[in-house]
Structure 1
């Protein structure tokens, strides 16, 4: 009997592990993601259960047994196609290496904003409220600067990738 209960609990575990995610807009327009609804009308976001399938590897040309192997059957992909693939990979790597840490910093700022917002709700006096609002304004500016800086870096990295891979003969 305990084995059946354990089996049922194990089968229910993946359902319990999946969390709802809510997308929230702050008063100053910043976007935050939370496990908890932002307001009474908040709807959970629809998340993909699985990662999208990776495209299959390119098919190699079929070699017919009755005909001899021709040079065109084993010819490499055109150089322009290889350059585009390398360019896309370069851009994807640069984007991930820039936006990943930037998003982590923004998430830290958003956590600080949430804590300050809680403190603001319980602020004992107007002076404390004003100080908390000033700190929150500074964090909103820092988030804006972080986003702008990350976008500048990604755009510069894209230009470098394009220049690097299109300049190749």
Structure 2
């Protein structure tokens, strides 16, 4: 019941396009990402201020008699801000839901750990350890999946918001 109430409260909170992202260590040592600080010493991750690479300046082709109009700095700054906002929104969405799933798995592992401590027969202990190993694997897959989704979303944001990105690729 505790997790469902917490999840409900988190869903009711408004999300910000410029949400901060905190990198945390879970009880089992796994890395988690959250919109909220994990502890009093937590500092937000530094998100990249500039794009990964600067698009090449537009060059005239052999068929054109004049050069293409350059992108002005105001347009470029606006595009960079839109790109950062897109990436920030994707980060909060992808890692937020991933952390919820990982939290549920960790809670289930904790309950299994309590059962393991109380288990008296070796066969039951072995079964509980195997189940916990399955949860650890699921957590690892969840982290890998979130990272893959984030890389895909980051590329999509760059393609969508960077001037000349669609034609340069």
TM range (shorter): 0.5 to 0.7
Question: Which of 27, 32, 40 is the aligned partner of 1:46?
Answer: 40
Q: Distance in 2 between matches of 1:24 and 1:97?
A: 19
TM-score (norm 1): 0.57
Question: Which of 70, 82, 89 is the aligned partner of 2:85?
Answer: 89
Q: Distance in 1 between matches of 2:109 and 2:75?
A: 50
Q: How far 1:124 moved relative to its partner?
A: 1.4
Please list every run of 5 or more consecutive structure 1 residues that lacks an aligned counterpart in the other structure.
Answer: 1-22, 33-43, 52-75
Q: 2:157 corresponds to which residue?
A: 161
Q: How many residues align?
A: 109
Q: 1:13 corresponds to which residue?
A: none
Q: How far 1:133 moved relative to its partner?
A: 0.2
Q: Distance in 1 between matches of 2:79 and 2:164?
A: 8
Output the aligned Cα RMSD.
2.7
1:139 pairs with 2:135: yes
Rg bigger for which structure? 1
Q: Which has the higher relative contact order, 1 or 2, with Cα contacts under 8 A spaced 6 or more apart? A: 2
Please list every run of 5 or more consecutive structure 2 residues that lacks an aligned counterpart in the other structure.
Answer: 1-24, 33-37, 45-71
Q: Distance in 2 between matches of 1:122 and 1:159?
A: 49
